[in-house]
Amino acid sequence: MSNDPILLSTALASFDALWSPHIVNRVNDYDVRVAKVQGEHIWHAHDNTDEFFLVLDGELYISLREPEGERTVRLPRGAVFTVPRGTEHKPHTATGAAILMFELTGTPSVGDRHDEIPDHVDATTGHTLGS
């Protein structure tokens, strides 16, 4: 990890892949990841950690399966949302978005419980910038 400031726009410009988070920094035991997204991710859950989202550009929707039923939250540019640990969720956006996430280091992008992983979703614990 670099001790120099990282411009998020530069980090996002360094890769083109969708649903492929890149690690820009670390805070304690958490990765700070950025990703470009469009279309649908998969239904998945993280059993041992919450997942924090910040929409840097565009608009993101996150569908959630909760005890009360299924709902979808809309996150416009600048909005934040935390998916509680163990909650099945599916991020999606028709128009595309750039997002920043806080996830416990080593957390797979497809969670611990998930549907079949389609080719357009990168199953990773995060890529280093430049890879």
- Are β-strands 69-76 and 51-66 bridged in parallel, bridged antiparallel, or unpaired? antiparallel
Assessment of whether the complete model's pTM goes beyond 0.85: yes
Domain limits of the chain? 20-115
Q: Is 9 in a helix, a strand, or coil?
A: helix
Q: What is the pLDDT along the chain (131 residues), one digit of tens a residue?
A: 668 899 999 999 999 999 999 999 999 999 999 999 999 999 999 999 999 999 999 999 999 999 999 999 999 999 999 999 999 999 999 999 999 999 999 999 888 877 688 888 888 889 888 76
CA atoms 92, 95, 96, 98: torsion sign: negative
- Give the span between the Cα atoms of 17 and 98, in whole angstroms: 12
Considering the segment(s) 20-115 as one domain, its CATH architecture is Sandwich (2.60)
